[in-house]
A = this chain, B = another copy of it.
Amino acid sequence: MATPRARIDVGILGATGTVGQQFIRILHRNPWFRPTWLAASERSEGKRYADAATWRLPDDLPEGIGDIVVQPCVPNKAPRLIFSALDATTAREVEPAFASAGHIVVSNASSFRMADDVPLLIPEVNADHLSQIARQRRERGWSGAIVTNPNCSTVVLAMVLAPLRQFGLRATVVTTLQAVSGAGYPGVPSLDILGNVIPNIDKEEAKIEAETRKILGACDGGQVSDHPVVVAAHTTRVPVIDGHTMTVSMALDAKPSLADVKQALTSFSGRPQELKLPTAPAAPIVYLEAADRPQPRLDAMRGDGMTVSVGRVRRCPVLDIKLVAMGHNTVRGAAGAAVLNAELMLAEGALEND
């Protein structure tokens, strides 16, 4: 396994927003990467980061970050490894410009997730999808690359479904109860969500239904075949700060026992654990026996926000198994996911020049 001798300078696109701030918080403590280049929209360009951004995380702005001058979102002088927290519209233009100029763009944006030649990674689940990069470079003529992580709800769902594929996973009905941090800042108006539920999140259900099948699919020669599981998603917003909770009913053709299902979940592990990647949690999934868990306020930060918590595995009268899953949407579901992707790429040699 490759590990860096010194921390590698990295850049962040969209550094002033909610996910950008999480990137800074997580990368600042990362032993392999060091955030030294920050870019954002024209409004912030040329300002000190401390002046351009209103820091909204409980931890103070890490030392040394506040004085960095915010750059425009162009490749010129940016480090080779770039994390992208851009919105989808901007990402569609900016990320290819960076990849074409030789940068590795590890993106949280949705723009290229479903592209045939772009890896949509959860390192514990489908590390082998990295082989799409070679095809991407060949077909697009890029010296760089774009690699993506899933939508914040999809990560949690796909991690829970992955170890259950062995039981003949055929269908799932999922309802999400999503935290407000998933909508960025200013995001959800308080008048809409205080003491309330909003029973829809725009475009989220289609993302969950499509991305899950790609992530769980097999990859052969850089070509991913969707997993056949049929996914039906209901998405809702609830007055929670961090942590997406979801109820999941699943059809499993092999009709496993409840003990089999719990065993498959708790023994789940992948490349990040084998490689002991810095951001990898010891256990990707923790099963909680208490009848009232997982809960976002108590469980979202488990494994530094990288562990998915599962509870209440029981029989489903309509499909086969019911359970509840919960994960941190801006860590495991966004910035932490991307950092783990980059660590996987580094350890697997995918950050090296061809």
* Size class of the A contact interface (CB-based, 8 Å): 35 or more
Chain A, residues 12-26, CB within 8 Å of chain B (1/0): the string is 000000100000000
B186/A191 in contact, CB under 8 A: yes
Contacts of A245 in B (CB 8 A): 197, 199, 236
CB neighbors of B among A315-343 (8 A):
316-319, 322, 324, 326
Interface presence of A234 (CB below 8 A) = yes
Say whether, besides A196-B240, A240-B197, A298-B56, A234 and B209 are in contact (CB < 8 Å).
no
Write the chain B residue with the least CB distance to A184: B191
B295/A173 in contact, CB under 8 A: no
Write the chain B residue with the least CB distance to A172: B318
Instruction: For A319, give its contact among B173, B181, B299 (CB under 8 Å).
Output: B173
Contacts of A189 in B (CB 8 A): 185-190
Q: How far is the CA of A103 from the CA of B199 in the complex (A)?
A: 43
A220 to chain B, nearest CB (A): 25
Instruction: For A186, give its contact among B186, B291, B326 (CB under 8 Å).
Output: B186
Q: How far is the CA of A188 from the CA of B302 in the complex (A)?
A: 24
Contacts of A317 in B (CB 8 A): 209, 230-232
Interface presence of A249 (CB below 8 A) = yes
A292/B197 in contact, CB under 8 A: no
